[in-house]
Amino acid sequence: MSHPKDSSRTGILVELPGSVTLDPDKAKHEQVRSRLIEVIMTMKTGDRLSPERELAAQFGVSRMTLRQAISSLATSGYVSRLQGAGTFVADRTISKNTELTGFSEDMSARGFSASSRLLKVSHRPAGAALGHELVLSPADMVYHIERVRMADGIPMCLESIDIPAHLAPGLDQQPLDQSLYEILATTYGIKLFEADQVITPTVVDQEQAGLLHVPVHSPALIVKRLAYDKKRRPIERAESIYRGDRYDIRLTVKRGAA
């Protein structure tokens, strides 16, 4: 530390051609965010980013806009900031949860390849309880899907999903051994925004044990999820049972306000 020369001091500087603004309709702070992620990927944990004022100049945006991008990265766990010292690349090997991800995305983030085995798919009335959760009348139809989700071919969880039929007509004809969130987004233009999850422990029964390839009464996690779109309309209700010996939930929690 402390080469008197070198333009960016300890900060790793990457050649960034002129201002930003290549994408047309995206907000500047989002473009900056994407560019910063690219830069961060080339750096190591603990490396210091160039100072905000410098980055703002490089990207051709105001410092407030740049800070908006960096704040978002800090929330997502890419970097951590320290007043007076700098902004540093965070350890990306852990966590990253607290983000709504489907199983496929979750697994590839952990370095596995996700696959599925479809057990059941049906088109049926929601019924009272489920109808209430999805804000439907009990007679309204839903698609019900049950799958075994696998990571590198090893069973990881049993997934039971219900989606209001009117949102995704013909969903039961889709390739349901693939990422459901992908299908929802590309085929139906449905983008999930957030979800409420409840996590409880359980032990697997005989049928579940067989599907997951674990002994009966093994510990497991139940994750119940109700996913919404941006206007908080319920889109998906999922209940997943993860085997406890190969899966854990990791999250970084922060104190007080952001």
Q: Show the binding pattern over residues 116-145: x = contacts DNA (CB under 7 A), - = does not.
A: ------------------------------
CA dihedral (211, 217, 221, 225) positive or negative: positive
The site partner of 93 among a second copy, DNA, none (C-beta below 5 to 8 Å per kind) is none
Least gap, CB of 135 to a second copy (angstroms): 13
Using CB under 7 A, pick the residue from 28, 144, 237, 243 that binds DNA: 28
Determine the 3-state secondary structure of 100 from DSSP.
coil
DSSP 151-207: ETTEEEEEEEEEEEGGGSTTGGGS-TTS-HHHHHHHHH-----EEEEEEEEEE--HH
For a second copy, the closer of residues 122 and 186 by Cβ is 186
Residue 174 contacts DNA per CB under 7 A: no
Angle at 68 between CA 225 and CA 227, to 5 degrees: 10
Residue 80 contacts a second copy per CB under 8 A: yes
Instruction: Calculate the alpha carbon distances from 91 to 44, 192, 193, 258 in Å.
Output: 8, 27, 26, 19
Least gap, CB of 128 to a second copy (angstroms): 20
Phi first, then psi, for residue 222 (nearest 5°) are: -100, 125
Determine the 3-state secondary structure of 221 from DSSP.
strand
Using CB under 7 A, pick the residue from 35, 36, 40, 67 that binds DNA: 67
Q: Show the binding pattern over residues 87-126: x = contacts a second copy (CB under 8 A), - = does not.
A: -------xx-xxxxx-------------------------
> For residues 2-61, which are near a second copy according to CB under 8 A?
30, 33
Least gap, CB of 80 to DNA (angstroms): 9
Residue 132 contacts a second copy per CB under 8 A: no
Residue 241 contacts DNA per CB under 7 A: no
Taking CB under 7 A as the binding criterion, the range among 20-28, 120-128, 156-164, 165-173 that sits at the site for DNA is 20-28
Determine the 3-state secondary structure of 123 from DSSP.
strand
Amino acid type, 108: S
Q: What CA–CA distance (Å, rounded) separates 88 from 115?
A: 35
Enumerate binding residues for a second copy (CB under 8 A): 30, 33, 64, 71-72, 75-76, 80, 82, 94-95, 97-101, 191-203, 217, 219-221, 230-232, 244, 248-258
